[in-house]
Structure 1
Amino acid sequence: MVRHTRRSMLKTAGATLGGLTLAGNVSASTGENARFFINLTEVSRSEVPDDVEIIHDLSQADVLVARGDQERVGGPGATVPDIKIDLSDDTTGAVESQDGPSVDERSASHNHDGAPSNSEFQWDKRAQNLSNNLTDKPGNGKVVHDTATGEGTRVAVVDSGVYDGHPDLEDVVNADLSENVTGDPYDFRPNGAGSHGTHVAGTIAATNSNDGPGGGVLGTAPDTEIIAYRMFSGMEGYQGDGYAAWVKAAENDCDAINYSVGFPFPYVFPEELPSLRAELRIAELVASYAREQGTVVVNSAGNDSLNMDRVDPERGEVLSLPTEAEGVFGVSATGPIGVGWGGKKSDNEEQWLRGNRLEEPTTEPAFYTNYGSAVDVSAAGGNADLQAIASNPDAYNDLVYSTVNTVDADGNVVSSYGWKAGTSMAAPQVSGAVALVRSLDPDASVEEVEQLIRDTASQEAEGELYHGSGHLDLEALVKAASKGKGKDRGR
């Protein structure tokens, strides 16, 4: 079997790095009707011409998102193009994806005696000892949800929209505060950009409420509240709309912002694209404002198998945004190889997680993940053996399983479940962890929450380069957070 591992992908990427050109999945508009950012630390608001349209007024963060003739506003450094991102590209969404059963269908998983259940696919939650209710053969020991479930907290999902009609999300999404920030005439629910945001929301807060034959799935913090901000209209979205959502989320008292979006390779070389340094400054201004309101900004590290500390001999240093922006909490992805592929122990999930059937453990850095000093921690994002997936449908079990929305032949939205892999799937594991901490210690500052997650993470064999401070450890985290409960810290 030829394995498509992280190491082999990196070797290939390194060999071709110098010959790539700017990808078509990001672009900046130019001309008299272009979208752009205005940095109000570089130019006064009074100097902005009246005929420049302000799309999002984020002046509380010293940023405006504008449309018009960029050249008429301030001098160098005062403006920078707003970037359009195509979510359909593998490096900006999920690297691998596969739809599963609808909520009305029986799960194909059957890992214990008794009825099969959707939650049996949730290796990520079972590896974290999240709940005794994840399978039809629960254990008897203390689990994470015995200590915290995210009650009293709020998480923003800035993404492709969240389908709140899913039975595992029905009582989770705050429809009154959720918002479409794109400017199109529709609401916060998905509008042509697939199920990315719904999958993310399920990883954070799914309630396992589906009463269908396969049951539901469970999120890290099922008692948190989700505010959904849709920043993609169809498959396209703008960073400026995303940053507008950061500000809205912070002002709506969100404990965390989950932002599984970023600038993909090769849009990472400031020597080729000097505007990236100005883009960095915009991200840092908005992140700083969010943090001042008590909100942790969690971002996926990216899916380009990229060393963010690298200096390319021809193209210079790497700058991966917004992960490398000060004030952003970066998350890399890990995942197993071999979950339920078949064989004599394929009916025993505990054997999988103890490693008896896994070719790679759940903490193995995923083949696609970005890495480097901008990573704060790693978390479960799913892994994949690409050759195995082509011939064995069970190989999709190595991806993260969560809530999705699909569309049937008549155009109706269908609540379903499905697999995805990407750092997009790792970030919400950490956003859910923020909710657990804040439910135990509501007065913990942003810095204290972030440091607690780092301090309790378990360092793995690959070290800081891939895992930052370590791999997310929910059991250690809630134990430590519960000791800080009730302290008068202030936010």
Structure 2
Amino acid sequence: MARRALPTAVAGLLLGIALLVAATTASAAGAQPTGRIVVLSEPGAAGARAARAAAASAGMRAAGPVVPQIGLTTVRAPRGESPARAARRLATAPGIGAAEPERRMRLRDVPDDPGLHLPEPVAGAAVSPLPAGTPLQWPLLRSNFPAAWEITRGERALVGVVDTGVDASHPELAPKLAAVVDQRGSGHANVPPSSDEDGHGTHVASLACAAAGNAVGIAGAGRDCRLVVEKTDLSDASIAASIVDATDRGAHAINMSFGDDGSRPASAAIRRAIRYAYHRRVVLVAAAADEPVREQGDPANLLQPTGSGADIGAGIGLSVTAATYGGARASFAGFGSQISLAAYGTAGVGASSPLGVVGAFPSSPTRFEQGTVPCRCRTAIAGDSRYGYLAGTSMAAPQVAATAALVRALNPDLPVRAVVRLLKRTATRPAGSGWSADLGWGILDAGRAVAAAAAIDRRAPVSQVRAQPGTRSGVVALRWTSGDPAPAGVVASGVRSVELSLEPLDGDKRETRRIVLRASVRATNVGVTPGARYAVRSRALDRAGNRERLGRDAVVVRAPR
């Protein structure tokens, strides 16, 4: 495919743009309780009924999402009883697998320290980590996305984003929305899911799938990918419901740029939702902590558990920390054995402030621009002021999620663990080095990842045999065809050999004949018992080791006497 020119915005410069970093929504303390209880029963309608009945018998009432696919019901404790005590009481009821107080996570972005909100000098200035002439969307170029787009433009890729919603009217996002779903429960009718009063969700969604090639603003990492946006209030039940819904809507990858501090065990509901998505072949991506700590909190620590980072085959998803333009871990980002890999989430520190990456902003003022220390992170591209700069692991994760979706859509035969391993294996790191506590398996290289996926043939070959009596007594003439189909864009390895099976229908099946021939051979005559009948089948083997299943249907032939 011919190389295509990058969108105008990608070639723009950072000159003259002052950048600041976003603040967190909560303190560095653990996740806050919501006052509700998350109840888990057997998945299905019967389990949901049992949970509702048990809760009603205990004097509790429904108070949030119900997700029968994973047996989740949300209730509120009776007046005067603490959620913790009510949960312990409910957990002993028949049909209840677990009951626990619900908590609310916080978004992953840079801590709200005043020193991090000073204006950043322009690229090329002495105090800037960016050299003069650095393109506006340098993370896409340094992560080799243009090479990935030459293999696939992501037309079939679907990315789930569990976040604060999205400005559905934004020109970068309006044509990319497959669904926008409100998972906040009751009490939010005045703020629709198609709006984003926070700004975080719009920025994250645009980094994954902003409209590309339209000569407007920016390009998303997944180029032509589409979005399922799940608007969450970050409570356990809301997050679990979001993961399940995005999975059911066909997301190839789900981005989660939020988390807690890991000071308490992960929610059983979120654990179950993650398993639900994983077993349905969704690649789950979570932002690591936006603090220089070893404990990333969940959901990141569920995807890459403690001590497993250095094992390239371990983990059921990807925990992503933030890298700087210079290739180092960002000073504010998490590190340690729960890190899978890194992606660019900041240019680095200049004039004491992390220099963010550009993404879409809602047209209305965002959380980052309000409060006692408002940021100056909004900017304009070609006169359009619906853009802004944020720094954090929140910004790194959607680039990884978009890449995972590109890979899954390109090569749907790859299981989740194969995609996770592939993104780690193809990441950029110093020659000869492996995993490190700072960057995991390295910094995302989307071009290498997609190219590697295109070269992996996991689809079995096919064959079809025809049989007829031979011209001599006790001879069967066999003819066959074979082929090695592959998904569009994936290179087939080619058929290596074909195995022919002749099973006696009138005698001992243990005398079944099996003949293996090179793929270049298309016909053969086989000597058998004169007058006997045989069920003839074929099975092809390709050069990647994929073997066709020996089908039940067979061609029946009688050998001449």
What TM-score, normalized by structure 1, do the two folds share? 0.68
| 2:454 match: secondary structure | helix
Q: Are residue 124 (structure 1) and residue 139 (structure 2) matched?
A: yes
Secondary structure, aligned partner of 1:472: coil
Partner Cα distance (1:157, 1:365) in 2: 24
Matching of residue 473 in structure 1 with residue 445 in structure 2: yes
Mapped partners of 1:282, 1:459: distance in 2: 36
- State yes or no: 1:84 paired with 2:104: yes
Partner of 2:248: 251
Tell me the distance in 2 between the aligned counterparts of 1:239 and 1:92.
Answer: 24
The structure 2 residue matched to 1:454, chosen from 417, 424, 429, is 424
Q: Please tell me the residue identity of whatever aligns with 1:323.
A: A
**Distance in 1 separating the partners of 2:168 and 2:119:** 18
Q: 1:119 to 1:63 in 2, by over 3 A?
A: farther
- 2:72 matched to 1:63? yes
**Larger-gyration structure (1/2):** 2
TM-superposition CA deviations, 1:181-239 (whole Å, max 9, x none): 112113222343x211111111111123565xxx421111121110111113xxxx423
Which residue number in structure 1 is paired with residue 464 of structure 2? Answer: none
1:290 is matched with 277
What is the CA-CA distance between 1:167 and the residue it aligns to? 1.7
State the number of aligned residues. 376
Q: Which has the higher contact order (CA 8 A, sep 6+)?
A: 1
The separation in 1 between residues aligned to 2:112 and 2:183, in whole angstroms, is: 19
The answer to whether the 8 A contact 1:167-1:209 is kept is no
1:55-91 deviation line (CA, Å, top 9, x unaligned) = 2222422433332344141249832221124559844
The 1:56/1:280 distance shift into structure 2, 3 A limit, reads closer
Structure 2 residue matching 1:424: 3-state secondary structure:
helix
Runs of 4+ deviating beyond 4 Å: 22-25, 41-44, 86-93, 95-100, 108-111, 460-463
Q: Which has the higher strand share?
A: 2
Partner residue in 2 for 1:315: none
**Conservation of the 8 A alpha-carbon contact between 2:158 and 2:251:** yes
Is the 2:291–2:334 Cα contact (8 Å) retained in structure 1? Answer: yes
Partner of 1:377: 341
Deviation per CA, 1:323-365, whole angstroms, max 9, x where unpaired? 11154421111012xxxxxxxxxxxxxxxxxxxxxxxx1x210
* Contact 1:148–1:439 (Cα < 8 Å) also in 2: no
Q: 1:168: Cα distance to partner?
A: 1.9
Q: Deviations over 1:288-309 (max 9, x none)?
A: 011112211110011111012x
Preserved CA contact (<8 Å) 1:98 1:418: no
Percent identity of the aligned residues? 24
- CA drift of 1:470 comes to 2.2
Q: CA deviation at 1:432?
A: 0.7
Aligned pairs (5 A) from 1:274-289: 276-277=264-265, 279-289=266-276
Select the residue among 321, 324, 347 that pairs with 1:335. 324
The answer to whether residue 404 in structure 2 is matched with residue 434 in structure 1 is yes
Contact 1:157 1:229 in 2 (8 A): yes
Contact 1:180 1:231 in 2 (8 A): yes
- Residue type of the alignment partner of 2:55: V
Aligned to 1:49: 56
Contact 1:440 / 1:485 at 8 angstroms: preserved in 2? no
1:73 is paired with a residue whose SS is: helix
- Check the 8 A contact 2:159/2:254 in 1, yes or no: yes
Q: Is the 8 A contact 2:342 2:439 kept in 1?
A: yes
Which residue does the alignment assign to 1:402?
Answer: 359
Shift in alpha-carbon separation, 1:259–1:99, aligned structure 2, 3 A = farther
Shift of 1:386: 5.8
Pick closer, same or farther for the CA change 1:67–1:218 going to 2, 3 Å. Answer: same
Structure 1 stretch displaced more, 222-231 or 75-84: 75-84
1:384-399 aligned within 5 A: 384-385=348-349, 387-389=351-353, 398-399=355-356
Shift of 1:402: 1.4
| RMSD, aligned α-carbons | 3.6
Deviation, 1:400, is: 1.3
Alignment of 1:218-257 (within 5 A): 218-232=219-233, 237-257=234-254
Deviation at 1:366, TM superposition (A): 0.5
Deviations 1:13-64 (A, max 9, x none): xxxxxxxxx85673214xxxx3121233799635333543152222422433
Query: 1:24–1:440: structure 2 CA closer, same or farther, 3 Å change rule?
Result: closer
User: Greater share of helix residues, 1 or 2?
Assistant: 1
Q: TM-score, normalised by structure 2?
A: 0.60
Counterpart among 158, 161, 164 of residue 162 in structure 2 = 158
CA–CA separation in structure 2 for the residues paired with 1:97 and 1:444: 43
Spell out, residue by residue over 1:125-166, the C-alpha distance to the aligned partner (whole angstroms, 9 max, x if none): 1112323xxxxxxxxxxx221111212121111101111222
1:100-133 CA-to-partner distances (Å, cap 9, x unmatched) read 9xxxxxxx9999xxxxxx99311101112323xx
